[in-house]
Amino acid sequence: MIIVAWNIRGVANKATIRTLKEIKSQHRPDITLIYEPKCSGNKATEVIKALGFNFSFLEEADGYVGGIWVLWDNPALTINILETHHQYVAMEVKDPSHSPWKLTAIYAKSLWAQVMLSKYGRGQDLRQNILSKQSDSDLWRSLAKVWGSFKDNIEFFIGNGRRIRLWIDPWLKNEGSLIQKAIIPIEEENMEITLTEATDLNGGWDFNLLRRYLPDNIIYKIQAIHPPWDNLEEDKILWSLTPIGEFSIASTYRKISQQTDTQDRIWEVLWGWKGPQKIKIFMWLTLHRKLMTGARRRKLFGTGDECHRCNSLTEDQSHVLRDCPAASSIWTQLINPCKIQSFFRAPFDAWLRWNLTTELGKNNQTPWITKFSVTWWWLWRWPITKGRRLNQHPNNLIRSINIWLKKQWSVEIRHTYREGNQAADWLAKKSVKERGTGYCFIDSPFVDLRSILDADMKGASLPRCVIDL
């Protein structure tokens, strides 16, 4: 039984109908559930006909809000609707190959929040803080970490004043909790009073009460706010980053992006650089201190942390990419001589950002960020250097090659790009695919190999773009 469910947020456009038909053709779902179709009546009938479904049940949308469609094709499949609501459709499914079973299609934006609160809330007042335990889910513990920042972007909508607490809830914009502004201690019996209890018999603010505890500048702000009124709706908590007060991931992301940009624009520089994606990812890992250096391997696995190039100092990020003699000898050939001293003395994090945003090279023919990034990459990828103890190399392939090199025969190693040695590359891949067959003697070339050998004999070339530093 294949079930496809999609919160589609509008089904009546050509692109969405085309996508749904492709999903239907590729996956052949037994039941398709559509949420928020944003159409009803005759238009809904036309869309279902265009999609090619033979059977359907519609819980109509309320205008453009909500709506659940249950669609299926198989005439042998029987779906009995048990109960409907604007947020769910409960049904019993019968088909010849299975015993009857129950299915409920739920459209409820707050359902996940209700589940989380019932399981982990423990009666907490979420207007204050979220407490978590180590045994709680990762999602709940993550929410607890960011809840302080989340609260900074909520606003209180004053209705009848029965839910908002006068002293504890930060209902007065940009002032926080009024308990922090009080000029005298607030009695414990008055701590939980609501806004409606801070009004007088005429429905206005009870300034006799407020002036007893609050300074004049806070009183002036309260005077500018309409007091709660019994005929109004319930008090609400609104999200200040959207015009209608509803929380959205997009508005939160924009807020976080703005904060990140003001603190550190290095990520914009990094991802805006026009270079290989693998080098960008490597730079990203380095900036987050996630490279598997000797120091990190020792911390995680208890192995040795010495540098395999100079065989002495601890191999951390700053050592392997800058301070190791093998690396520093390369940097000194690329750096403007007047900047060498600062180059090797700067703290590592500042050094990374400095190199990504400043021209430090001997010439400006190639942007320094390109020279730096590619050199940075190859310093990390550099597998064999003079003086390296290959028998202790972390890569078992390098150790195996070292053993073969020590045998009593003459060996010469030359670097050739893969495009220039396609026959050997093809045979190496072939050996990996047929691992375990032992030695294999080839009397005549394989069919796929012949075309490569013919191209070699004819002198066909395969150009490769190489960045010259």
Q: Is 91 exposed, middle or buried (0-12, 13-18, 19+ CB in 10 A)?
A: buried
Q: Which residues pair with 238 in a beta bridge?
A: 155
pLDDT score of 429: 81
172-181 contact pairs (CB < 8 A, 24+): 172/218, 172/221, 172/222, 172/225, 175/218, 175/221, 178/213, 178/214, 178/218, 181/214, 181/215, 181/218
The answer to whether residues 70 and 87 touch, using CB atoms and an 8 Å cutoff, is: no
pLDDT score of 394: 58
Residue owning tokens 């805006």:
272
pLDDT score of 320: 86
Query: How many residues appear in the chain?
Result: 469
Other CB atoms closer than 10 Å to residue 349's CB: what's the count?
A: 13
356-361 contact pairs (CB < 8 A, 24+): 356/266, 356/269, 356/270, 356/273, 356/283, 357/266, 357/269, 360/335, 360/336, 361/334, 361/335, 361/336
List the helix and strand counts (H, then E) for the chain. Answer: 18, 9
Q: Phi and psi of 102, rounded to 5°?
A: -100, 145
Name the E strands within 8-107: 31-35, 55-59, 68-72, 78-85, 88-95, 98-106
Write down the domain spans for the chain.
3-108, 152-239, 275-382, 416-469
First-to-final CA distance of the chain: 58
Query: How far apart (Å, rounded) are the C-alpha atoms in residues 239 and 303?
Result: 50
- Strand 3-7 relative to strand 31-35: parallel, antiparallel, unpaired? parallel
Query: How far apart (Å, rounded) are the C-alpha atoms in residues 340 and 240?
Result: 49
DSSP per-residue codes, 55-72:
EEEEE--BTTB--EEEEE
pLDDT score of 53: 92
The answer to whether residues 464 and 419 touch, using CB atoms and an 8 Å cutoff, is: yes
Q: Which residues have a Cβ under 8 Å from the Cβ of 286 and sit 6 or more positions away?
A: 317, 321, 352, 376
What does each of the 469 residues of the chain score in pLDDT, given as a tens digit?
889 998 888 888 888 888 888 888 888 899 999 988 888 888 888 999 999 999 999 988 766 667 899 999 988 899 999 998 878 899 999 988 888 999 988 876 666 677 778 888 877 666 667 788 888 888 888 888 888 778 788 888 888 888 888 998 888 888 888 888 989 988 888 888 999 999 988 889 999 989 999 999 999 999 888 889 888 888 888 888 888 888 787 788 777 766 554 445 788 888 888 888 888 888 888 888 888 888 888 888 877 788 877 777 788 888 888 888 888 889 988 888 888 888 888 888 888 888 888 888 887 778 899 999 999 888 887 754 444 456 666 566 777 777 878 888 887 777 777 777 888 888 888 877 765 566 777 788 888 888 888 888 887 767 766 554 4
Enter the pTM of the model.
0.40
The answer to whether residues 57 and 30 touch, using CB atoms and an 8 Å cutoff, is: no
pLDDT score of 384: 41
Q: Phi and psi of 244, rounded to 5°?
A: -95, 0
Query: How far apart (Å, rounded) are the C-alpha atoms in residues 80 and 70?
Result: 11
Q: What token pair was written down for 357?
A: 């945003």
Query: How far apart (Å, rounded) are the C-alpha atoms in residues 367 and 359?
Result: 7
Read off the DSSP letter of residue 319.
Answer: I
CATH code assigned to 3-108: 3.60.10.10
The answer to whether residues 366 and 469 touch, using CB atoms and an 8 Å cutoff, is: yes
Residue owning tokens 């394989």:
446
Query: How far apart (Å, rounded) are the C-alpha atoms in residues 461 and 396?
Result: 33
